[in-house]
Amino acid sequence: MNIAGQFRPVNSVPDLPELPPVSAILAQGLELVEDLSRKLQHLDTLMLTGKPNEISEAAATVEMALKTASPAFAEIAETMGRLGACNLAAAAAQLRKIEEEDAAGLAEALRVALARFAKRSVSANRRAQQLNRGLNAALRSLQALGMQESGRLIAEA
């Protein structure tokens, strides 16, 4: 009996997209956080100068960088979920268990960089609030002195 041709080829399982290695994802996240930190530091420094145009441009740069980095941070969170870790410290511990020392070191470095960025962010936010309060107080003082023309502050220009 000839059975040739009676069997159809079995469709192979469709190729799943290959996931980038954990080290690559964490290294990319670390680079993004360091870049964001530099941009935030620049904005914080500019707020001391009192140059509104430069401050506005730097703030827009930081905002755009955060939006651009958002998918990478989502990928990091997804990777941590695959590792069964709720934070970067737990991810580093999990990576050490599976003998991924390089990736564990990157997870620790990313955790430290994010903590530093958060601290700078709080500092820049406080400075922005102080700057805003100072400008509001100055404008109220000008208004109190009667420096208005047709309902608009002269100093507004």
Q: How confident is the model at residue 7 (pLDDT cuts 50, 70, 90)?
A: very low
153, 142 in Cβ contact below 8 A?
yes
Tens digit of each residue's pLDDT (9 = 90 or more) over 30-82: 999 999 999 999 998 998 887 888 988 999 999 999 999 999 999 999 988 88
Q: Which residue has the tokens 């903590």?
A: 115
Tens digit of each residue's pLDDT (9 = 90 or more) over 84-136: 899 999 999 988 888 888 899 999 999 999 999 999 999 889 988 888 888 78
* Model pLDDT, residue 62: 92
